[in-house]
C-alpha cells in the first residue's frame, strides 16, 4: 500500500512540478549530500525551526509555502509577532516526519530538513523529485554529520564555521546572499564586543552556570549552549559529565551547585518551579537569587542562532558580570537587531 502511495505521489509530482525544465545548479548540504536545485528558488517547505528563523531574518518568508506543524512550540508562542505571515503558511510534518500528499500539494522546489532527519524521510521526499537540503549549522567530521548529538573534536570551530556555512548556504539557495552576509557580519561584531571585555578573566574565576529545562533536562558538551556560556564567561557545570541533551538527577544538580541558573524564554514555568521547590533551595544560584529567564533572542538551543551569538551572549555576560557591562543598554541593543533583521521593535524582557 505504501509503495502504491509513493508511486502515485511521484506521478502527481511529474504533472505539477516539472523541475527538469528549469535551469538548475548543484549545492552541497551540511551532511555532505550533492543536491540539484533550480537557479531561482521561490517555493520552499521548512521542516526545521532553526532554518525557519534564519529565513525570517533574511526577509525570505514570501518564499515559504509550508512549515513544520509544531513551529510555535519550537520557536515559542511569541514568535508569531515577529513574523505574523507564518500563521498563513500551510503546516505539515515535523523534524522527523512529513505527510507526502500535503507536501506534493504545495509544489515546493526545495525542502529544508534537520541534519538528523531519518534517512527514510529524506529518501521518500527525494523519490518524489523534490530536492531535500539538510541543515546542521555545524561543521561536523565525517561520520558525525547526521547525528543529533555528535562527537566534536573542536566545538568552537564546529559551531562557528558551521553557522557561517549554514547561513551562507540557506541564503544561496533562496537567492538572498547579501542578507545572509549581513547576518553573519552582525553576529561576528556582537561576539567580539563580549570577548574583548572578558578576555582577562582567568578560568578559575569564571562563574559556574547551569541551563535548566523542563523535567530536569539540560545541555552537556557538544551543544551550542555550553559554548554560549563559555563565550559569556561562564563554565557549564554539566559539560564535564554529560554529552548532548540529557536528563539528570536532582542530586547531580545539587552536587554541581551552580552559581547561576539560566532558563530559556520558552520555559517560564521552570523558573517558578526552581524558586518555589524546596529541593532547589540548597543551591547557591537560588540562595543568591541568580535564576534568570532568558530573553527570546538569547536562544540557548542545541544549535546556535545569529541573535544568540550576536546579542544573546552579551545579555548573558551582562547577567554574569554586570560590572563589566554597566554601559550596555540591552534593550537598545536588542531593538537595533530586531529593527534590522525582524523589521519590528523588540518588546520582550531585557
Where are the domains positioned within the chain? Answer: 2-175, 199-342
* Confidence (pLDDT) at 313: 96
The CATH label, of 1.10.3720.10, 3.30.2020.10, 3.40.50.1980, 3.40.920.10, for the domain at 2-175 is: 3.40.50.1980
| Cβ 271 vs Cβ 241: under 8 Å | no
* Confidence (pLDDT) at 226: 86
Which CATH number is associated with domain 199-342? 3.40.50.1980
* Confidence (pLDDT) at 158: 87
* Confidence (pLDDT) at 33: 96
pLDDT average per 10 residues of sequence, the chain (350 residues): 43 42 88 97 97 98 98 88 96 96 97 96 96 94 83 84 96 98 96 94 95 94 88 95 93 98 92 96 98 91 86 97 96 97 92
* Confidence (pLDDT) at 12: 42
* Confidence (pLDDT) at 8: 44
Same fold, 2-175 and 199-342: yes
Amino acid at each position: 500500500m505504501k509503495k502504491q502511495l509513493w508511486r502515485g505521489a511521484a506521478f502527481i509530482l511529474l504533472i505539477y512540478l516539472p523541475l527538469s525544465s528549469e535551469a538548475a545548479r548543484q549545492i552541497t548540504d551540511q551532511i555532505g549530500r550533492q543536491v540539484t536545485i533550480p537557479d531561482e528558488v521561490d517555493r520552499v517547505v521548512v521542516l526545521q525551526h532553526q532554518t525557519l528563523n534564519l529565513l525570517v531574518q533574511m526577509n525570505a518568508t514570501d518564499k515559504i509555502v509550508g512549515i513544520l506543524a509544531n513551529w510555535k512550540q519550537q520557536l515559542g508562542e511569541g514568535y508569531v509577532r515577529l513574523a505574523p505571515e507564518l500563521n498563513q503558511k500551510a503546516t505539515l510534518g515535523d523534524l522527523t516526519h512529513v505527510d507526502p500528499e500535503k507536501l506534493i500539494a504545495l509544489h515546493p522546489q526545495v525542502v529544508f530538513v534537520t541534519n538528523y532527519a531519518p534517512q527514510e524521510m529524506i529518501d521518500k521526499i527525494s523519490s518524489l523529485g523534490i530536492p531535500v537540503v539538510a541543515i546542521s549549522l555545524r561543521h561536523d567530521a565525517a561520520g558525525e554529520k547526521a547525528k543529533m548529538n555528535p562527537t566534536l573534536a573542536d566545538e568552537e570551530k564546529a559551531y562557528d564555521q558551521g553557522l557561517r556555512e549554514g547561513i551562507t548556504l540557506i541564503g544561496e539557495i533562496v537567492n538572498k546572499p547579501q542578507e545572509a552576509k549581513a547576518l553573519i557580519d552582525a553576529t561576528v561584531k556582537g561576539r567580539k564586543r563580549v570577548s574583548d571585555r572578558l578576555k582577562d578573566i582567568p578560568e578559575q574565576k569564571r562563574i559556574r552556570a547551569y541551563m535548566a529545562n523542563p523535567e530536569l533536562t539540560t545541555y552537556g558538551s557538544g551543544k551550542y549552549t555550553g559554548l554560549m556560556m563559555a563565550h559569556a564567561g561562564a563554565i557549564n557545570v554539566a559539560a564535564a559529565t554529560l554529552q548532548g541533551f540529557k536528563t539528570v538527577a536532582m542530586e547531580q544538580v545539587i552536587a554541581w551547585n551552580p552559581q547561576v541558573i539560566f532558563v530559556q524564554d520558552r520555559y517560564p514555568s521552570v523558573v517558578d518551579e526552581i524558586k518555589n521547590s524546596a529541593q532547589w533551595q540548597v543551591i547557591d544560584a537560588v540562595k543568591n537569587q541568580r535564576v534568570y529567564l532568558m530573553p527570546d533572542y538569547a536562544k540557548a538551543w542545541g544549535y546556535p542562532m545569529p541573535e544568540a551569538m550576536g546579542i544573546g551572549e552579551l545579555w548573558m555576560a551582562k547577567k554574569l558580570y554586570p560590572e563589566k557591562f554597566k554601559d550596555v543598554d540591552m534593550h537598545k541593543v536588542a531593538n537595533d537587531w530586531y529593527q534590522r533583521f525582524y523589521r519590528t521593535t523588540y518588546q520582550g524582557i531585557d
